[in-house]
Amino acid sequence: MSPILLDKATRILLNGGLVAYPTEAVYGLGCLPERQDAVERLLTAKRRSWQKGLALIAANLAQIEPLIVLPEGVLRSEVLDSWPGPFTWVLDARPGIPKWLNGGRHTLAVRITAHPLACELCRRVGGPLVSTSANRSGRPPLRHTLQVRREFRSETDYILPGPLGGLEQPTTIRDGRTGALLRDA
C-alpha cells in the first residue's frame, strides 16, 4: 500500500472526515469516534439509527482499554486470545461513552483488527475508529471499491483502495459479559 494513500486517509480522518476502507471481510466506513459530526454523517450515509450503536476497531488493546471494562476469568482470556483478529466483542463501557457510539447502552462493541490497512489507519490516527460495514442499512455489505464508489461517492471524503482480509462474512460478534454468540461469521 502506498504511504501517500494512507497519509491522505489519515489526514482526512484527523480532520473529521469519513473514509471507506477494506477490513477483514467487507469495506468499512469509519471516522474518529469522538467527532460527533463525523459519526452523524456516517449514520446518515448508512441510513442507520444511532440507537443501534456502532463498533470500534483498534490497532491494539491500549487504544480501546480506556473505553471498556474487560471481563474477568475465562471470558477475559477468550476476548484477549481472539485479538488481533476478526472477533468483535460487546463489552461493558466505561462511564462517559457518548450515546452516539453505544446507542445509549452501557456497552460498546470493539475489535482489535488484524487487517493490515485498518490496523495502520488506527495506528496513524493514534486511536480507535468507528467501523461499520459500507452499506445502506438493511442491504448487503459492499466488498469492492467500485461498489463503494457507486454507493457512497458523494457521502465519503475518501475511499482507501486495498484487498479485503479474506473472510466471506462480516466478523463474529460475541457478548463479552455472557459469552453468547450475537452474530456468526
> 126-144: b or e for each residue (b if 16 or more CB lie within 10 Å)?
ebbbbbbbbbeeeeebbbe
Percent of the chain at pLDDT > 70 equals: 99
**Three cell numbers, residue 25:** 471481510
| Residue-wise pLDDT tens digits, 69-99 | 999 999 999 999 999 999 999 999 999 999 9
Interhelix angle for 3-14 vs 116-125, to 10°? 50
In this predicted structure, what is the pLDDT of residue 42? 97
Domains in the chain with CATH codes: 3-183 (3.90.870.10)
Per the structure block, which three cell numbers stand in for 110? 470493539
Rounded Cα distance between 63 and 57, Å, is 9
Interval 146-168: pLDDT, tens: 999 999 999 999 999 999 998 88
Model pLDDT, residue 167 = 85
What pLDDT score does 166 carry? 85
Which stretches of the chain score pLDDT less than 50? Answer: none
- Alpha helix segments (H runs only) across the chain: 3-14, 36-46, 61-64, 73-82, 99-102, 116-125, 145-152
For the record, the C-alpha cell of 43 comes out as: 449514520
